[in-house]
Chain A
């Protein structure tokens, strides 16, 4: 077994391999390499690493838990690794922004055990607010980066990342992207490497980062990075595919490399895949490119490798022509077709005629994500819209399932910036727009993540603001992970009351009471809060599936009573309701029986049918 794809046709082989998501392969690889301490904050596409480690926690006898936010989680993992453990931190790309402060300084101290940061980027922003390229962070902090090229070899490279961290005493970034994290492939599991954590040792000069020590640490970091450069400048961290194209070649990494591998044979194109992309394995790369006329650098997102390779050519007075982002898109994830087009262009071949069918866009309907049938967030936005019908509002929204409140028919978002910004920005909205009513909507997980510190600021600044915490007691967007509100461990209403402002807990399904409360509160000066408390319907359905709860049933419509006023389909817009042949129809497979439609129907046309 090598880091190479196991391209094997032997039946017995593949059958005995595991079928895993890239994220699961990463978790397994790290556990098999002795990682014994996992923490992070959920975020698509990184979440399943910790989720898989939770599943195997007992088998491996390891510590796994979610943190309240990425900074807290990284500090937690850092302390474990400084203590001598083999720690793992996971986050999505923007999560590393939150943890950037501990991250950059931690690099200067290094660790005593090992620390791998699994950071998953989301090119094309399938579930993200931006598509920043994490590879820049390695350069900012002088931290090595390892990049797998497929879910299959993610297992191997996760193990290598941990080994590299242990060897260099630096934190190492294992950089993933959506198609690796959420790709599926077969993985060959190799023997476990059991590692005993080192005993704790105090080392004040290293881990107390006051200026005098920090200056020493800066030198230490430079030396450790130099050592890393020597270590990874070996054929073990690259893979060369030779097809005899002596004059030209491709250099690639990450998911883009998997597309190149599929194409390089077809086009007989020599290809160098780089797995350790920071620092650049200079000798390997230079050996590959020095006698060629032209090199095509194929990478997703920014031209990071391209810049490094151009610099390498400059340092060596080489006149090899390096082509990169002028031919390969800077935006969004790369598609195999785009890579093929770029390769053909590079080889001066005719472009492929990819006649695509033109879709009848004028007739097609979009299908954006929606709140689930029975989702309490939908009810909350419905309530708020009616409570503040004739009031000039600014809705400062946040990141989570409830971001969907930005979409019609609710349209309750003036901005969504980053985790916790609903309350953070509300201060500025309130001060800059004293004539408007400012409402911040934020979920429970996001409240604990960073809303709480922003709330302290809002109270301190004494702005007029209504905070609506959409507390469904789970981190729902990423698939119902636990957070401090789960199982009632911490209570948001009590926490906010403890900060000295009025805070009331009420379910958004209590339509009249909710509206009354919101109208009453908005008249008070200062900051006040409603905690809209109602469990996530997906979470409830999971309990039903596990037979820990009883399904509520579904509603039926009395067409005699219904006047087709449209409130339930247009105003509430529950996905289980539609108009079929001019009548309201309930999709019983979708309806979760929340009865909110029944609450708001002026004609009382809905009745709940319980299921046996």
Chain B
């Protein structure tokens, strides 16, 4: 089997999680298009309908020789979450020792004001994640995105972190797809993405 063929047999499974309206679907679709461009078979699935209205949403990315669109529990290589409590809600999809990349900014469900229950403290959230893996990367993605004036760009910061920390995706291909997907705002979106990569590269140096 040639090296080329072997490469194509590799598989990557990534679960994106977050809250409806945070750009989960566009990020997931972008990853699928990058995988496809690299010559892999890709499969994905996304949340539609009711939950899109501010509820928990997930998007699953499967790159490689899969027929099914769902990632079995405990098999995702990466869990990328745009909200810390949603990372916990989805932790079981991650394989033991897999990589968690999570936004640190919380989105407090409006219901908490009604049921009079506080958002869980960080220790509880991160302790739970740690039971699955030690590889947890916390990213102040929203702050980073806002620092370049991209109010809704946290998903792109996290994408930058993912691309930097794994060798799943060719950064220049990701850039190309970002520019294609958001032609009107490609400059600021690329800048936001690069901020994420930069954040992650500093992590590596530590």
Q: Which residues of A contact B (CB under 8 A)?
A: 5-12, 14-15, 17, 19, 21, 44-45, 47, 126-127, 149-152, 179-180, 182-186, 255, 257-259, 261-262, 335-337, 340, 354, 356-357, 359-360, 363-372, 401, 404, 407-409, 477-479, 566, 569-570, 573-575, 577-579, 588-590
Which listed residue (B49, B54, B131) contacts A575, Cβ 8 A?
B54
Instruction: A335 to B75: give the CA distance in the assembly, Å.
Output: 13
Decide: A364 near B49, CB < 8 A? Known: A259-B68, A573-B113.
no
Instruction: A401 to B128: give the CA distance in the assembly, Å.
Output: 34
Decide: A354 near B67, CB < 8 A? Known: A127-B48, A478-B49, A573-B113.
no
- List chain A residues, Cβ under 8 A from B3: none
Instruction: A151 to B29: give the CA distance in the assembly, Å.
Output: 14
- List chain B residues, Cβ under 8 A from A186: 36, 41-42
Q: Are A370 and B89 in contact (CB under 8 A)?
A: no
- List chain A residues, Cβ under 8 A from B69: 150-151, 179-180, 183-185, 255, 258
Identity of the chain B residue whose Cβ is nearest the Cβ of A576 in the assembled complex: B110
Q: Are B72 and A127 in contact (CB under 8 A)?
A: no
Count of A-B contacts judged by CB separation below 8 Å: 206
- Total interface residues on B, CB under 8 Å, equals 65
- List chain B residues, Cβ under 8 A from A369: 20, 50-55
Instruction: Bits for B88-124, please: 1 = Cβ < 8 Å to A, else 0.
Output: 1101100000000000000011111111010111001
- List chain B residues, Cβ under 8 A from A569: 110, 113
Q: Are A179 and B54 in contact (CB under 8 A)?
A: no
Q: Are A365 and B37 in contact (CB under 8 A)?
A: no
- List chain A residues, Cβ under 8 A from B52: 369
Q: Are B56 and A367 in contact (CB under 8 A)?
A: yes
- List chain A residues, Cβ under 8 A from B121: 363
Instruction: A259 to B29: give the CA distance in the assembly, Å.
Output: 22
B143 an interface residue at 8 Å Cβ cutoff? Answer: no
Q: Are A365 and B120 in contact (CB under 8 A)?
A: yes
Q: Are A182 and B32 in contact (CB under 8 A)?
A: no
Instruction: A369 to B50: give the CA distance in the assembly, Å.
Output: 6
Instruction: A364 to B111: give the CA distance in the assembly, Å.
Output: 12
Decide: A7 near B65, CB < 8 A? Known: A127-B48, A185-B43, A359-B128.
yes
- List chain B residues, Cβ under 8 A from A5: 67
Which listed residue (A45, A150, A354, A372) contacts B48, Cβ 8 A?
A45
- List chain B residues, Cβ under 8 A from A401: 53
Q: Are A367 and B86 in contact (CB under 8 A)?
A: yes
Decide: A370 near B110, CB < 8 A? Known: A11-B39, A151-B69, A336-B70.
yes
Q: Are A364 and B73 in contact (CB under 8 A)?
A: no
Instruction: A368 to B131: give the CA distance in the assembly, Å.
Output: 26
- B1-52 at interface with A (beta carbon < 8 Å): 4-5, 8-9, 19-21, 29, 32-33, 36-52
Instruction: A152 to B43: give the CA distance in the assembly, Å.
Output: 9
Instruction: A340 to B53: give the CA distance in the assembly, Å.
Output: 33
Instruction: A366 to B5: give the CA distance in the assembly, Å.
Output: 45
Q: Are A9 and B5 in contact (CB under 8 A)?
A: yes
Q: Are A15 and B37 in contact (CB under 8 A)?
A: yes
B194 an interface residue at 8 Å Cβ cutoff? Answer: no
In the assembled complex, the CB of A187 is this many whole angstroms from the nearest CB of chain B, namely 11
- List chain B residues, Cβ under 8 A from A365: 85, 108-109, 111-112, 115, 117, 119-120
In the assembled complex, the CB of A466 is this many whole angstroms from the nearest CB of chain B, namely 25
